[in-house]
Structure 1
């Protein structure tokens, strides 16, 4: 067939090529798989027997059957059978089973992880970089156990959510 695109290895037409529609249709099938990708599930090892054209999966680490040799690839069913794409850094798919995104980071698929520097809600920053730790309450002249307990609970919650560091 000749040359391929560098990132997604989509087949390219060559000058004087017979049956250009075969190469063109193959490229369109692969584009259909990778543009705005939505998969049925992430990490499946055995191809489903009832797959219909247009459905896709992220192949698991130990694939079997028609998926053998395509570990961690994006697999899509087409009218012509299974098509596979090797994930590239930055590829993100929506997983119907998990109801969240799964992202490829060169080491594997990360499902449900959100990586950001800040979180904006209606244009206002509500979460930013982790702040310095806050020490738990102790000592003082007047001890109010209920207030101290409430403040400590808030500090622990902030630490558990990673919003502040441990003191």
Structure 2
């Protein structure tokens, strides 16, 4: 739309002496509406919905058809003037309503419903990527059934929370 768009979301910038500035300004607002605190109804759809409502958005799949053709992996938003497409920048996140989780755009693709690796609390990593499987306690020269029960309970909790893989 303009020769000098913004670098991340390609929002059209107004130029000195430019005619019809309201068109560029309105286009920028529409794209901001799609990008800021992004929320989509679903991710990975390839066929545009038949009767969308203004403000509804989707993450387009890898083989789009119809009005979405040529916009793979974009955020497609329906407006009063038709479809608008936003090419996601690296690191963009969107809430995906139908799966009740986030999608993250990284390395040219959307990671949908995937844990993003770690949890930071007060600047310290407290949870990282899933650890490998840990076997239940077995063997040894002295058997302490209470300690074994406690260790087994801890391992069960870690497995249920997905922090440690199941052997």
TM-score under structure 2 normalisation?
A: 0.79
CA RMSD between the two structures: 3.1
Q: Distance in 2 between matches of 1:143 and 1:4?
A: 68
Check if 1:128 corresponds to 2:122.
no
Asked if 1 retains the 8 angstrom alpha-carbon contact of 2:4 and 2:13, the reply is yes
| CA spacing shift, 1:22–1:72, aligned 2, 3 Å | same
- The residue number in structure 1 matching 2:85 is 84
Shift, 1:59, TM fit: 0.2
- The residue number in structure 2 matching 1:114 is 115
Matches within 5 A, 1:15-164: 15-118=16-119, 120=121, 127-129=126-128, 136-142=137-143, 144=145, 148=148, 151-152=151-152, 154-155=154-155, 158=158, 161-163=162-164
Q: Distance in 2 between matches of 1:126 and 1:5?
A: 34
Shift, 1:148, TM fit: 4.6
Asked if 1 retains the 8 angstrom alpha-carbon contact of 2:133 and 2:164, the reply is no
Per-residue deviation, residues 121-159 of structure 1 (Å, max 9, x unmatched): xx7x89434779866321324475x97577446436636
Larger mean CA deviation between 108-117 and 51-60 belongs to 108-117
For structure 2, the residue ranges without an aligned partner over 5 or more in a row are none
TM-score under structure 1 normalisation?
A: 0.79
Larger mean CA deviation between 40-49 and 135-144 belongs to 135-144
For structure 1, the residue ranges without an aligned partner over 5 or more in a row are none
- In the alignment of these two chains, the number of paired residues is 162
Asked if 2 retains the 8 angstrom alpha-carbon contact of 1:137 and 1:152, the reply is no
Shift, 1:114, TM fit: 2.9
Asked if 2 retains the 8 angstrom alpha-carbon contact of 1:129 and 1:163, the reply is no
